[in-house]
Amino acid sequence: MSGVPAFAIVGRVNKGKSSVVATLAEDPTVEIHEDAGTTRRCREYPVEVDGERLFVLVDTPGFEEADRALAWLRERESSAAARPDVVRDFVDAHDGSPDFETECRLLRPILDGAGVLYVVDGTQPYRRNYEAEMEILAWTGQPRMALVNRIGDEDHAAEWRAALDQYFKVVRDFDAHAATFQERLALLEDFRVLRPEWREVLDRATEALRSDRARRLEEATDAVTELLLSALGFSIERSAARHEDLDGQRAELQRVFHDELRARERRQRRRVEEVFRHEGVVREDADLAMPRWDEDLFAERSWTDLGLTGWQLVAAGVVGGAAVGLGIDAALGGLSGGGGAVAGGAVGGVAGAVRASQRLADVRTLRGAGSALKTILGHRRLPTFRIGPHASPNFPFVLIDRALLHLQAVEARTHAERDALRVSSTSRQWSEERRRRVARLAAKVRAARGDVPRGVHAELRREVRSLVREVVPA
Amino acid sequence: MRIEDLVDLEVQLVADQEVAEDELHRRDRSIARGWGDAPPSGRGLLLAAWLSGLREAGQGPAVGRWLARARRWAALLLLLLGLGSGWALAELLLAYDGSEPVNVLDFLLWIVGPQVVLIVLVLVAWPLELTLRVSDRVPHAADVKRLWRSVWWGLGGWLAERFEALPAEQRERWQSARNRLAARRSLYHGIEWWLLLRLAQGLAVAFNVGVLLSMARLVAFSDLAFAWSTTLDLEPAAVHGALGALAWPWKVAWSEAVPSLELVEATRWSRLEGAFTAAGAGGDAARASSGSWWRVLFAATITYGLVPRLTLWLVTVVGGVVAARRVRLDTPEVDRVVRRLTTPVVTTRSPEAPEGRVAPAPGAVAPAPTSAPVEDLDVLTWRDVPLDGAVVDALAGQRFGVSARSVTPAGGLDGDPGAIERSLGRPGGRRAVLILADDFEAPDRGFRRCVARVRELVGDAVPIVVGLVHAADRRRGAVAERALKSWRRGIARLRDPYVSVEALGDGP
């Protein structure tokens, strides 16, 4: 191993070492399985910044016969100062032999200078025989810290800590399947404690990881913003090939339109998953209950559970209608006594409530057949239809809710997870001011139909960024 | 950024859409690191340096340079066209075969007149259009616009039907490209306008230069005679007044180029008579002075042709540069490029291929537990499983119907291989061995070694039962199904049909 700081993740088989590595290295190729002894060899996970290797994590096979190994070491012990040499003799003596195969492999990187990250399962009871492993690791003389992982549902962390505190400089709780970004960074900061000479390079690594995370959140914001821009302004125009084809063409157009919106949402999700390095994340099987976000974009549940409630939409509609009504009041010189605003609000509210339930967009006739000029030019025009942009006032809110739920689930998912993506079922709460802002922006995007002015794009992105920051803290 | 760089920026952004973000990040970050500790300041310079870096690496677009070259060629062609057309028109207007003098009013009409009208239109209409949208208020302007659009719709309708006939994928690509152009155009349409205007003014400048060169050649290398004539009943004084007003801009700087009343009176021509109208009195003077008109025409061409066009051309040059500098480089796509350039590439994954799992041994399902009656039962407690004697006896009785003959710790710090030898080495009748283990432990090599040693000591065909318990907080809980299956898969590697794994139930 080079002079780059290294940390060997060690422990007994099946205590979550590989899960810890997968989470810290964000590597889904780490073999994780409930059967013992999945990891047979050491595997390095270098953390590089701009091609420069800053430090290395080493996944190791687990202790399998620590008690016998310790017995071998004790037979040859002379003094505490000589213990690291005895460990080296142990490895040399059994190198290449099937006896103590895994012990030799896991000790080799430690003897080469790696710090020790000892992993135990804090959800299982403490047993005295683990002290054999702790003793062996202490004999190496290398800086050591312990991680109390969580695999099951019970809690025996306290009894583990009482023992680990006697052998390790730092003891930290760490759930490899649920660790947040901040918790992963905190672990890196603990690494700094092990060796002062490693602090500078670990600080650089921490800074780079923070910077990378900020970049990811910006990328995710871009992905959600672009979904909104492309979906809200999306429309299709088609000319009927023949007059007799009108009904068939309408149905086909409607299907193509909604399928394309679904496809755009899928692409945006894939992009978010790639940003957070969850390429190819596995979906749940069809016979299990589908998470809410994974339902079809236009499924009824998506629209009843996400987006705005009926009352909120009415409120949004009231605002829109009242603006018209106020115009009427102004035109009448205030003689209407504000009745215009009330009437406009009521009309807008009803319209908002009616359109709220409209999940699917309608096909509209754009222009009828023929025109005088076309006839003069000798070219008969066939009827043209347009579907889109999707006019439901709830559509932008449904899109945003789904995107944020997905983002939240992806960001929180560690790379130790092998199950399907899970998501909270809590719909977000929309403040009235934000509802109005989003509704106004959505209307502008719809009206622009592809050529969205710079200012609107920038404002929409700011809004999305603010929402992203709320669901995923930096 | 230069205009060529803006074009290349657009081309590169489109090309990068097909490339994975990670790859782009690595590529751009390597370019940025080549700048050392002094990266370009300001977005424009940063992006220009980025494009330059891409070109040096052989990956950058060359469209901008081609367009710049095309623009230069177009400007050159327009220059030649302008020179040629100005020269030709001047030759035509100044053609003099000695029979009839050149009509100066005709010359002014063709050369100066249109240019004055165009300049007035530009100077008056442009600001009005920008500030008041006059075209929308002009009566019937909307009708004209609609008619104009109808013509394009006619062509557009035909094109649209051809478009509909394309395969869906191609249609989508064209639609996407069109939308993208429309979206980006809102950024760049200001520059386009300046570029086109600059080319047009270049043509006009060259035209005026062509006229002046032709005039200079004819004046210097031939003898021209000028006159003015009109069917209208105009007095020379009125013509002099009008020409005097026309000559006002150069009255001070070039007084010889201002036509005098005498010159105007003397050089009126009558085609009917084929002579100057003043031929009788001072006709010789008219002939002598008619050549003086060349200064008036020269000055008029410079003042109303060349100078305004040259000025406009300079304005378009400056305007184009300013517009290019003012292009906002804060769109999300450009933000992404800047992020890639300024954020370090962090990689944490292993470059080695995963080793792959060892396939479970064939027949990995553990055999069914034995049900034969047992007379002698030896129990091992594996790695400190916290079960006291009474519990062990209870479990033994529950499973085998007999008490344990011996209970020996195995594995762990207190495991004594000698004790196991002593306990299991004793002969017995129908015997069995029960190994009690925590369900959350794993059947690792140490455990398998222990089972193998037990097999050596007790002989073949003696049932060895691995009894899993979940012992915590002084109680025994239910053994997890997952743990049971994992143990069975692990033990199956021993390929011993007389070793089984069972879950022993909960209790005190």
Q: How far apart are CA A4 and CA A2, in angstroms?
A: 5
pLDDT digit string, tens, across residues A369-402: 545 554 444 445 556 677 878 888 888 998 998 8
Question: Does A30 contact B at CB distance below 8 Å?
Answer: yes
Q: Select the residue of A33, A50, A66 nearest B345 (Cβ to Cβ).
A: A50
Other Cβ atoms less than 10 A from the Cβ of B506: the count is 13
Q: Do B348 and A27 touch (CB under 8 A)?
A: yes
Residue A453 has what pLDDT? 78
Question: Does A154 contact B at CB distance below 8 Å?
Answer: yes
Spatial CA neighbour of A196 closest among A169, A163, A165 = A169
Question: Does A242 contact B at CB distance below 8 Å?
Answer: no
Q: Is residue A340 over pLDDT 50?
A: no
Q: Do A211 and B343 touch (CB under 8 A)?
A: yes
Q: How far apart are CA B397 and CA B430, in angstroms?
A: 16
Q: Do A129 and B351 touch (CB under 8 A)?
A: no
Residues contacting residue A384 through CB under 8 Å, at least 6 positions apart:
A237, A238, A239, A240, A365, A366, A367
Are A295 and A266 contacting, i.e. CB atoms less than 8 angstroms apart?
no
Q: How far apart are CA B301 and CA B208, in angstroms?
A: 7
Q: Do B343 and A215 touch (CB under 8 A)?
A: yes
Q: How far apart are CA B222 and CA A186, in angstroms?
A: 94
- Could you tell me how many residues make up chain A? 474
Are B109 and B243 contacting, i.e. CB atoms less than 8 angstroms apart?
no
Distances (CA, A) of A128 to A119, B200, B385, B386, B448: 15, 91, 10, 10, 20
Q: How far apart are CA B241 and CA B260, in angstroms?
A: 10
Chain B positions in Cβ-Cβ contact with residue A51 (cut-off 8 Å): 30, 345
Question: Does A44 contact B at CB distance below 8 Å?
Answer: yes
**Interface test with chain B among A15, A18, A217, A373, by most B beta carbons within 10 Å:** A373
Of A164-168, A309-313, B1-5, B34-38, least confident by mean pLDDT is A309-313
Provide the shortest C-alpha distance from residue B120 to chain A (in Å).
33
Restricting to A residues 266-325, those with a Cβ less than 8 Å away from any Cβ of B are 274-275
Chain A positions in Cβ-Cβ contact with residue B354 (cut-off 8 Å): 29-31, 43
Q: Is residue A352 over pLDDT 50?
A: no
∠ CA B63-B67-B72 to the nearest 5 degrees? 150
Q: Do A214 and B446 touch (CB under 8 A)?
A: no
What string of DSSP letters covers A57-71? EEE-PPBS-HHHHHH
- By CB atoms closer than 10 A (0-12, 13-18, 19+), residue A377 is middle
Residue A288 has what pLDDT? 27
Helix, strand or coil, per DSSP, at residue B374: coil
Residue A300 has what pLDDT? 63
Are A124 and B480 contacting, i.e. CB atoms less than 8 angstroms apart?
no
Q: How far apart are CA A184 and CA A277, in angstroms?
A: 16
Are A43 and A106 contacting, i.e. CB atoms less than 8 angstroms apart?
no
Q: Do A450 and B183 touch (CB under 8 A)?
A: yes
Tokens of residue B264, six digits: 């105007």
Provide the shortest C-alpha distance from residue A315 to chain B (in Å).
32
Chain B positions in Cβ-Cβ contact with residue A222 (cut-off 8 Å): 332, 335-336
Question: Does A109 contact B at CB distance below 8 Å?
Answer: no
The amino acid that residue A110 corresponds to is: I
Chain A positions in Cβ-Cβ contact with residue B440 (cut-off 8 Å): 121, 124-125, 152
Residue B1 has what pLDDT? 75
Tokens of residue B212, six digits: 């002046």
Chain B positions in Cβ-Cβ contact with residue A70 (cut-off 8 Å): 413
Q: Do B383 and A41 touch (CB under 8 A)?
A: no
Of A290-294, A469-473, B101-105, B414-418, least confident by mean pLDDT is A290-294
Q: Which residue of B has its CA nearest to A256?
A: B168
Question: Does A64 contact B at CB distance below 8 Å?
Answer: yes
Q: Do A124 and B339 touch (CB under 8 A)?
A: no
Distances (CA, A) of A276 to A99, A219, A412, B285: 42, 10, 10, 94
Question: Does A35 contact B at CB distance below 8 Å?
Answer: yes
- By CB atoms closer than 10 A (0-12, 13-18, 19+), residue A10 is buried
State pTM to two decimals.
Answer: 0.71
Restricting to A residues 429-448, those with a Cβ less than 8 Å away from any Cβ of B are none
Residue B173 has what pLDDT? 65
Q: Do B332 and A40 touch (CB under 8 A)?
A: no
Residue with tokens 């809590």: A426
Q: Do B349 and A29 touch (CB under 8 A)?
A: yes
Spatial CA neighbour of B405 closest among B416, B389, B387 = B389
Spatial CA neighbour of A322 closest among A343, A293, A337, A305 = A343
Helix, strand or coil, per DSSP, at residue A45: strand
Residues of chain B under the 50 pLDDT cut: 281-282, 361-368
Residue A325 has what pLDDT? 37
Tokens of residue B221, six digits: 């290398």
Q: Which residue of B has its CA nearest to A448?
A: B183
Tokens of residue A47, six digits: 């953390």
pLDDT interval class at A455 (50, 70, 90)? confident
Residue A113 has what pLDDT? 93
Residues contacting residue A32 through CB under 8 Å, at least 6 positions apart:
A18, A19, A22, A38, A416, A418
Residue B157 has what pLDDT? 58
Backbone phi, psi, residue B334, to 5°: -70, -40
Q: How far apart are CA B40 and CA B53, in angstroms?
A: 12
Q: Which residue of A has its CA nearest to B153?
A: A374
Q: Select the residue of B335, B413, B489 nearest A128 (Cβ to Cβ).
A: B413
Chain B positions in Cβ-Cβ contact with residue A454 (cut-off 8 Å): 186-187, 328, 331
Of A147-151, A429-433, B153-157, least confident by mean pLDDT is B153-157
Average model confidence (pLDDT) across chain A: 80
Q: Select the residue of A225, A238, A374 nearest B332 (Cβ to Cβ).
A: A225
Provide the shortest C-alpha distance from residue A327 to chain B (in Å).
24
Are B13 and B333 contacting, i.e. CB atoms less than 8 angstroms apart?
yes
Other Cβ atoms less than 10 A from the Cβ of A193: the count is 14
Q: Is residue A348 over pLDDT 50?
A: no
Q: Select the residue of B187, B348, B472 nearest A454 (Cβ to Cβ).
A: B187
Question: Does A124 contact B at CB distance below 8 Å?
Answer: yes
Chain B positions in Cβ-Cβ contact with residue A122 (cut-off 8 Å): none
**Interface test with chain A among B440, B447, B493, by most A beta carbons within 10 Å:** B440
Question: Does A455 contact B at CB distance below 8 Å?
Answer: no
Question: Does A149 contact B at CB distance below 8 Å?
Answer: no
* A331-355: average pLDDT: 44
Question: Does A209 contact B at CB distance below 8 Å?
Answer: yes
Chain A positions in Cβ-Cβ contact with residue B415 (cut-off 8 Å): 67
Higher pLDDT, B492 or A75: A75
Q: How far apart are CA A103 and CA B414, in angstroms?
A: 20
Q: Is residue A440 over pLDDT 50?
A: yes
Q: How far apart are CA A424 and CA A125, in angstroms?
A: 31
Residue A344 has what pLDDT? 43
Q: Select the residue of A38, A68, A125 nearest B357 (Cβ to Cβ).
A: A38
Chain B positions in Cβ-Cβ contact with residue A156 (cut-off 8 Å): 472
Residue B69 has what pLDDT? 85
Q: Do A34 and B352 touch (CB under 8 A)?
A: no
Residues contacting residue B171 through CB under 8 Å, at least 6 positions apart:
B163, B164
Q: Is residue A250 over pLDDT 70?
A: yes
Question: Does A425 contact B at CB distance below 8 Å?
Answer: no
pLDDT interval class at A305 (50, 70, 90)? low
Please report the ipTM that was assigned to this predicted complex. 0.73
**Interface test with chain B among A55, A64, A236, A452, by most B beta carbons within 10 Å:** A64
Q: Select the residue of B352, B412, B480 nearest A67 (Cβ to Cβ).
A: B412
Q: Select the residue of A64, A154, A274 nearest B444 (Cβ to Cβ).
A: A64
Provide the shortest C-alpha distance from residue B465 to chain A (in Å).
19
Q: Which residue of A has its CA nearest to B414?
A: A129
Q: Is residue A284 over pLDDT 50?
A: no
Q: Do B348 and A457 touch (CB under 8 A)?
A: no
